[in-house]
Amino acid sequence: MSTYIIRRLLLVPLLIFGVTVIIFGMLQFLGPVERSALYVRDFPKNDKQIQGIIRKYGLDRPIYEQYWRWLVGVKDPVTGNREGGILFGDFGYSRTASQPVIDIIKNRFPNTLDLALWAVFPMLSVGIWLGVQAAVHQNGWVDQLARIFSIVGTSFPSFVFGLLVLIVFYANLQWFPPGKMSDWVSQLIFSGDFHQYTKLLTIDALLNGRIDVFLDALRHMALPILTLSYINWATFVRVTRSSMLETLRMDYVTTARAKGLKESDVINKHARPNAMISITTLAGFSVVGLLGGVVITETVFNYPGIGQAAASAAQQLDVVTVLGFAVFNGLILILANLVVDILYGFIDPRVRLA
């Protein structure tokens, strides 16, 4: 198993290299003036200043030199400080937000992570359970309802479903408001009486012993969680059903039944674990989508996460910020792919022996 993990770890630098090359290639569609936003905060006032910045940061140099400087940054000859360099966490400066892109990520990612933590469990558990039930009761009424549910969910745009639940549960019933927190919670946080240990509102609320803050945070996240779960349930039902049906036709399942094992043991101990391989892949990339920021959902519900920040930057044509988010999402995708590969080795021993 250790050899298998080491092989996967050795692939990570190559994947990071590939992601950075692709994103840097996208940067080349911008001119040197636009790319100077990676290093400067105030836009130059005249052509002489512009040309000075281009020469200082090598934006007119060969592309391989520009790529290296983009990775490791440039040292200021006067102060000796390093400027730029995505390997050092400098993704450029956002003119629309008037702050470095890395600061936007630091401020927004905890909100997205908080939402993802509470959305993952219902998204995975309900979707997989429905898919298993549909396969076990193939062509029965449970299967028919699950397939209808899957088709409707797959064809339903997330922003339409989000708007519908907003109309029903917020506009009409006033149960679940959009946003991240109520005004009184915001005042409590900025008063200094609420300690932010993790920057995750629900976790910090529990650590501070404030159940009222915890419930308020969940109340604001309820509709985004419902929207994210519903859209993903449809996909998980289809994939789980297909994988389970294929597994239930295997010879070892037939043998287990012939031995007189209970049907629940056949399903839970023999069929379902072997059907989880394809589901693990889907689960991994679904979690990546949550951590990378679900743009439409966060925008619809005015939730201040990574996705909403990326959408705002795109609307204002802040290309440097958008590409900074692309680098961040690419790194998350690589790490998630690594985790999924390692989980494969635990789920199916044949994988780690390949």
DSSP code per residue over 158-180: HHHHHHHHHIIIIIIT--S-SSS
- CATH of region 101-352: 1.10.3720.10
Whole-angstrom distance, CA of residue 20 vs CA of residue 26: 10
End-to-end CA distance of the chain: 11
294-330 pLDDT, tens digit each = 888 888 898 888 888 888 888 887 887 888 888 888 8
Rounded-to-integer distance, Cα 269 and Cα 265, Å: 5
Which two three-digit tokens encode residue 352?
A: 């780690």
CA dist., res. 296 & res. 60, Å (int): 37
What's the token pair of residue 242? 């297909």
Length of the chain counted residue by residue:
354
Whole-model pTM? 0.82
Residue 275 three-state SS: helix
Q: Is the confidence at residue 246, as pLDDT, over 60?
A: yes
CA angle (78 as vertex; 76, 84 as ends), nearest 5? 15
Q: Which of 10-19, 29-38, 336-345 has the lowest mean pLDDT?
A: 29-38
- pLDDT of 237 > 80? The answer is yes
Block residue for tokens 């925008």: 299
pLDDT digits (tens, 9 = 90+) for 166-188: 898 988 888 888 888 888 888 88
Domains of the chain, by residue range, sit at: 14-94, 101-352
Among 50, 26, 23, residue whose Cα is nearest residue 39: 50
Whole-number Cα distances in Å, 202 to 109, 189, 206, 213: 14, 13, 6, 8
Q: Which of 135, 346, 121, 327 is nearest to 232 (CA)?
A: 121
Q: What is the mean pLDDT of residues 49-72?
A: 78
In the chain the beta strands, taken as DSSP E runs, fall at: 74-75, 82-83, 93-94, 99-100
Residues of the chain with pLDDT > 70: what percent?
91
User: pLDDT of 73-87, one tens digit each?
Assistant: 777 666 666 766 788
Rounded-to-integer distance, Cα 2 and Cα 9, Å: 10
Q: What is the pLDDT of residue 214?
A: 92
Confidence of residue 211 (pLDDT cuts 50, 70, 90): very high
Is residue 348 pLDDT above 80, yes or no?
Answer: no
Contacts of 152 (CB under 8 A, 6+ apart): 234
Residues 76 and 73: their CA atoms lie apart, in Å, by: 10
Per-residue confidence (pLDDT) for residue 277, from 0 to 100: 75
Task: Look at residues 166, 212, 207 and name the one whose alpha carbon lies nearest to residue 185.
Answer: 212
